[in-house]
């Protein structure tokens, strides 16, 4: 029983550490803030292709988080990267990878695509 309590405490501490560390390199933007800047940036939808085809933010490119490592050459380090997924979990993972690879300006849509009220495109 004591082992389980220690394990839960360690997992919670690790989660809090990652959350606060992530805030040092990932800026979470409201939809209004996101709209203000994404046209001058690289707008990346990190969901899977079938999700992207079902509807995505107008102007977004689809680079699924599962392919991000192999497709880093498609992104420029000298331009901001605006990320979104359905919620925010996958875009946070993508942001972590980009940060480790030297990207500096990384932004995430608060609440993800499910909270988006702007223009979308469907295939």
**Which residues are catalytically annotated?**
85
Residue 56: strand pairing partners:
121
Contact 113, 45 (CB under 8 A): yes
H helix runs in 23-118, sequence order: 31-37, 49-54, 89-100
Other Cβ atoms closer than 10 A to 44: 25
Rounded Cα gap, residues 117 and 23, in angstroms: 25
The distance from CA 36 to its chain's CA centroid, rounded to whole angstroms, is 17
Residue 81: strand pairing partners:
42, 106
């Amino acid at each position: 029983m004591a082992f389980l309590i220690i394990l839960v405490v360690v997992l919670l501490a690790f989660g809090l550490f990652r959350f606060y560390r992530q805030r040092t390199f990932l800026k979470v933007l409201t939809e209004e803030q996101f709209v203000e800047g994404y046209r001058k940036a690289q707008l990346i939808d990190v969901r899977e292709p079938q999700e992207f085809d079902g509807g995505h933010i107008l102007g977004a490119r689809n680079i699924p988080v599962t392919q991000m490592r192999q497709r880093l050459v498609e992104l420029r380090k000298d331009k901001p990267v605006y990320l979104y997924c359905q919620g925010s979990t996958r875009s946070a993972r993508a942001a972590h990878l980009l940060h480790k690879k030297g990207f500096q300006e990384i932004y995430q849509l608060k609440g993800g695509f499910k909270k988006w009220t702007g223009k979308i495109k469907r295939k």
